[in-house]
Amino acid sequence: MLAGLDDAQREAATALDGPVRIVACAGAGKTRTITRRIAYGCRTGAWDARGVLAVTFSVKAAAEMRARLGTLDVGDDVTAATFHSAALHQLRRVWPDVCGAPFPHVTDRPQELTARALRRTVNPEGLDPTQTGLPAVRDVLAEINWCKVQLIAPDDYGRVCAATHRQPPIGLEPDRFADVYTAYEQEKSATGHIDFNDILLMACHVIDDDADAARAIRRSIRWLTVDEYQDVSPLQHRLLTRWLGDNRNICVVGDPAQTIYSFAGASSYDLLHFTEEFSPVAADISLRTDYRSTPQIVGYANRILAASPEREHYLRLESGRGAGVRVVRTQYDDDEQEAQGIAARIARLVAQGVSASDIAVLTRINAQQQHVCAALRAQGLRFRVRRDASWQSSPLADETQEQAALLEAKGIVKDSAAVTVSTIHASKGLEFPHVFIVGCSEGLLPYGSPAPGEALEEERRLMYVGVTRAEDTLHLSFAARQSSDTGARRRPSRFLV
């Protein structure tokens, strides 16, 4: 179980009691380490596998964890799931004892509910598509979700906006957005539905308000592991503290340099302050060796973070690999030439025997992918597109999707060879021998060229995540202009260090 682990990984895998924090850089083998830790605890008899819960954020990550635990002969009894899947299972188990009504349905149409709420409150006549069209619906639903994960009720929204200078979406005043938020909740209740975040809120309420249900839930959570702890929201943090009660057997794993979902309510605060909240901790371990990337790529990643005012919170990476090739930077005349140049480079790699599935083109936003896909198509190259939202990155999936994710994690089902075209956000957790990051210019990466502050730091961390997806080669590029007939020149990204 411990064979092949380095000293730091072994220390983490054998720290079985009390609060444990593992700060793991990109490519440090954190999933391997925490699954070995779980297996070691169970197979030595220190833990009862039926009382082990390991939670992560996506269906794909949970499936990978289950697959690895299965190879260690503890997969059948250990629960490895997303926050939402674990909480939903717990609620359904105790629901008959806490409520006489049927368990509500989890909606798969939150946009439809949001659209109805908008029509009721903002524009009953439906005359202004800018406030009831699909883009508006998406923006409003994102803000409702943000409020929920931040534990902000409709009545508190106006005060939060006043205190933080937050601007509601689609030009709404804070009070009017609060009305939309309230109407959304009413639409759900009227149809007997809950949404994803309601699952976590309800689990918190049940544990807080029903002692018997709380005991039943906590009996199944004697050893808790939380992956990607830098992405925990206030709502998820509240739930995990309810799961624990007086129990101190918690292990968290994360990397503050990979916090890239602040816009959705994630924060590295709880990871950074774990040793204070759970003092005294049993172990505080750093995994700083990147076994994925060459020294050249690791050095580039380190330089990106070295310019950050928050660099004291970030690990300085060390490569566990031998020397590789230099990181390539290329300037093109315009976006179309950039896409064509990258596609030509990829075609040469494939002609040399590189599998297309070993190559990824990463973009900051979805809109950049059109030129890339057209250029790959012109070269006769197969490709798959990963955008910021898919069921694999979702906190919940149906049974068929869960099974597909597990089969893929076990290597039983593999996609045919194709270049991956992905946003950097959607590539998190993935790795490729050859990575191309396009659009490395001010305005695109960092997006909007934000002033110094948290928005810029989020963009810096996003660039770091993109760079550390690469194993063997990394190619960074930008276009001097959007198109040949556009006069405005772009400046290279400040992250091209």
Question: Residue 88 and residue 414: Cα distance in Å, rounded?
Answer: 29
Residue carrying the six token digits 């406030």 = 131
201 near 195, Cβ under 8 Å? no
Residue 99 marked in a binding site: no
Other residues' Cβ atoms within 10 Å of the Cβ of residue 335: 24
User: Does 148 show up as a binding residue in the annotation?
Assistant: no
**Measured torsion, CA atoms of residues 389, 391, 395, 397, in degrees rounded to the nearest 10:** 160
Q: Is the pLDDT of residue 391 over 50?
A: no
CATH code at 7-89+197-287: 3.40.50.300
3-state secondary structure of 123: coil
pLDDT tens digits for range 155-201: 999 999 999 999 999 999 999 999 999 999 999 999 999 999 999 99
The per-residue pLDDT for range 244-287, each reduced to its tens digit, is 999 999 999 999 999 999 988 888 999 999 999 999 999 999 99
Label residues 21-50 b or e (16+ Cβ within 10 Å = b). Answer: bbbbbbbbbbbebbbbbbbbbbeeeebebe
Burial of 315-334, coded b for 16+ CB within 10 Å and e otherwise, reads: bebebbbeebeebeebbbeb
Predicted pLDDT of residue 483: 85
Q: Binding site annotation covers 275?
A: no
Beta bridge partners of 383: 419
* pLDDT, greater one: 55 or 392: 55
Q: Was domain 134-194 assigned CATH 1.10.10.160?
A: yes
pTM: 0.90
Q: Which residue has the tokens 């057209």?
A: 374
Which residues sit opposite 329 in a β-bridge?
476
Taking the C-alpha atoms of residue 301 and residue 297, their distance in angstroms, rounded to an integer, is: 6
The CATH 3.40.50.300 domain(s) of the chain lie at 7-89+197-287, 295-382+417-481
pLDDT at res. 374: 97
Task: At 413, list the tokens.
Answer: 């089902």
What pLDDT was estimated at residue 1?
A: 80
pLDDT (mean) for 445-467: 94
CB 67 within 8 A of CB 410: yes
DSSP result, 191-257: TTEE-HHHHHHHHHHHHHH-HHHHHHHHHT-SEEEESSGGG--HHHHHHHHHHHTT---EEEEE-GG
The answer to whether the CB of 287 falls within 8 A of the CB of 24 is yes
Q: How far apart are the two ends of the chain, measured CA to CA in Å?
A: 41
Tens of pLDDT, residue by residue over 323-364, are 999 999 999 999 999 999 999 999 999 999 999 999 999 999
Residue 147 marked ligand-binding: no
User: For residues 200 and 108, what is the distance between their CA atoms, to the nearest angstrom?
Assistant: 16
- Could you say which architecture CATH assigns to the domain 295-382+417-481? 3-Layer(aba) Sandwich (3.40)
487 is in an annotated binding site: no
Q: Cβ contacts of residue 259 below 8 Å, gap of 6+?
A: 230, 231, 266, 267, 268, 458, 461
Q: How crowded is the C-beta side of 242, counted as CA atoms within 13 Å? A: 25
pLDDT bin (cut points 50, 70, 90) of residue 100 is: confident
What does the pLDDT read at residue 486?
72
- Length of the chain in terms of residues written: 497
Note whether 113 and 193 are within 8 A (CB): yes
Structure confidence by residue, pLDDT tens digits, 104-113: 999 999 999 9
Contact 405, 397 (CB under 8 A): yes
Is pLDDT of 415 > 60? no
Whether residue 188 is annotated as binding a ligand: the answer is no
251 annotated ligand-binding residue: no
Residue 430 main-chain phi, psi, to 5 deg: -105, 165
User: Quick one: average pLDDT of 411-439?
Assistant: 88
Question: Would the annotation count 418 as a binding residue?
Answer: no
